[in-house]
Amino acid sequence: MITASIRLTGTLNDGAEVYRSYYLVADFGSSGSGKSSIIPMSMGAPMPDDEHLTVKYGGEEAALKAAAEAIKVLPGNQGLEVRVVINPE
């Protein structure tokens, strides 16, 4: 199993400062296909249509990268500074 936290910070178009946090989990092995889960940790954080992302190859690491990319491009998250921590404590 591999986990990550992703934090987005910055200023929205209306000038409001924003902080958003998500927790990502993948638990299916280091290669092959599988699913990752996106868990919002901030109230009101935008979410993709599906909280699970499936990858056909690349294992857990590829699934976490796909989830992070899906979060970064959501309306309301675009242009924010992104910080990812793998296996946060």
Mean pLDDT is lowest, of 19-23, 37-41, 63-67, for: 63-67
pLDDT at 83: 93
Find the farthest-apart pair of alpha carbons in the chain and give their distance in angstroms, rounded.
Answer: 43
- Alpha-carbon distances of 62 from 16, 32, 67, 74, rounded to whole Å: 33, 10, 9, 19
Q: What is the CA radius of gyration of the chain?
A: 13
Over residues 65-77, mean pLDDT? 91
Which tokens sit at 47? 């979410």
Domain ranges in the chain are 2-86
pLDDT at 14: 86
Which tokens sit at 13? 């178009």
Residues composing the chain: 89
Q: Is 82 helix (H, G, I), strand (E, B) or coil?
A: strand
Model confidence at 80: pLDDT above 90? yes
Model confidence at 89: pLDDT above 70? no
Model confidence at 29: pLDDT above 80? no
